[in-house]
């Protein structure tokens, strides 16, 4: 018996594998077994739905209780601490008396049936590793692409909990509206870039311009004036430490 209205299964990021895709079959099985419970996946940082976005969804759906648990099979205490911190931040932002009860589950590796899980995979034999798989080198990856600007969008934990998903989506739309592709402006999602208190943080190179508090409503202006017009918006540049 699951005593929660929603269960959110998390992964640190969607780089490499998007939990929304990888966990979908398992979450569908769980949803069929527990029809009163909503099962969703979420990431701490990355392009997929973040844990705070999914918690917002749970509130909109009227959930009174939410269980958040890691889908990682090995415990990662540092990552668990990040999730606790981001969820605590989200709870503080909720109007008084409106937040659901949020509980954080233990590690899958501590579960009694973890050995069964490992054994189940092992007895199915796996697939043979081969020396004929694609090489690590490829002609298409021999040159640095000829883009004129490189935009780094921080999708670390704090920026992701403070508007970076909306900033990222607005950037995609604004670049499309200006017909700027990867060959013009290369956008890279990054982990924490350090000035978390200035979230959401976006850096533009080779200009070396770091925007602070670049919320979604400011993105089109940055694209028009800076990435197209070549003029950084000085008033939105974050405070930088001086070199000793």
CB of 190 to ligand FES, least distance (A): 8
Q: Which of 27, 193, 222, 223 binds ligand FES (CB under 6 A)?
A: 193
Residue 232 or 238: the one with the smaller Cβ distance to ligand FES is 238
Stretch that binds ligand FES, among 126-134, 166-174, 193-201, 223-231 (CB under 6 A): 193-201
- Told to check if 240 binds ligand FES by CB under 6 A, we report no
Give the count of alpha carbons within 13 A of 128, CB side only: 3
CB-count exposure of residue 149 (10 Å: 0-12, 13-18, 19+): middle
> Under rule CB under 6 A, which residues in 16-75 are in contact with ligand FES?
none
Q: Kindly state the DSSP code that residue 59 receives in the 8-state scheme.
A: H
Asked if 27 and 40 touch (Cβ cutoff 8 Å), the reply is: yes
- Binding-site size for ligand FES (CB under 6 A) equals 12
Report the residue number, 54 or 199, with the smaller CB distance to ligand FES: 199
Residue 101's alpha-carbon distances to 24, 50, 88, in angstroms, are 25, 18, 12
**Min dist. Cβ of residue 22 to ligand FES (A):** 24
Q: Helical H runs in the chain?
A: 19-22, 24-33, 51-60, 77-93, 114-123, 157-160, 164-177, 216-222
Beta bridge partners of 16: none
157 in contact with ligand FES (CB under 6 A): yes
Restricting to residues 135-154, name those near ligand FES by CB under 6 A: 154
Stretch that binds ligand FES, among 110-118, 142-150, 174-182, 187-195 (CB under 6 A): 187-195
- Decide: 170 and 219 in contact? Cβ < 8 Å: yes
Q: Does 156 bind ligand FES (CB under 6 A)?
A: yes
214, 168 contact by CB (below 8 A): no
| Sole binder of ligand FES in the list 59, 152, 187, 192 (CB under 6 A) | 192
**Angle in degrees, 0-180, between the axes of helices 77-93 and 51-60, rounded to the nearest 10:** 40
Site string for ligand FES, 199-218 (x = CB under 6 A): x-x-----------------
Using CB under 6 A as the criterion, which residues of the chain lie in contact with ligand FES when the complex forms? 154, 156-159, 192-196, 199, 201
């Amino acid at each position: 018996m699951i005593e929660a209205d929603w269960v959110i299964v998390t992964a640190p990021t969607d780089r490499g594998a998007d939990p929304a895709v990888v966990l979908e079959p398992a979450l569908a099985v769980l949803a069929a077994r527990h029809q009163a419970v909503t099962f969703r996946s979420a990431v701490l940082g990355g392009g997929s739905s973040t844990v705070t976005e999914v918690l917002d969804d749970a509130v909109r759906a009227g959930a009174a209780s939410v269980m958040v648990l890691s889908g990682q099979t090995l415990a990662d205490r540092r990552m668990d601490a990040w999730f606790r911190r981001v969820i605590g931040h989200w709870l503080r932002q909720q109007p008084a008396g409106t937040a659901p009860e949020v509980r954080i589950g233990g590690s899958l590796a501590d579960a009694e049936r973890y050995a069964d899980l490992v054994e189940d995979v092992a007895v199915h034999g796996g697939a043979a590793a081969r020396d004929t798989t694609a090489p690590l080198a490829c002609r298409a990856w021999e040159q640095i692409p000829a883009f004129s600007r490189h935009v780094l969008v921080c999708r670390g934990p704090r920026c992701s909990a403070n508007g970076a998903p909306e900033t990222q989506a607005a950037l995609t739309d604004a670049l499309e509206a200006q017909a700027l592709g990867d060959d013009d402006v290369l956008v890279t999602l990054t982990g924490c870039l350090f000035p978390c208190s200035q979230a959401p943080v976006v850096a533009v190179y080779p200009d070396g311009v770091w925007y602070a508090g670049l919320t979604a409503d400011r993105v089109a202006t940055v694209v028009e004036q800076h990435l197209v017009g070549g003029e950084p918006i000085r008033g939105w540049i974050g405070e930088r430490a001086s070199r000793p």
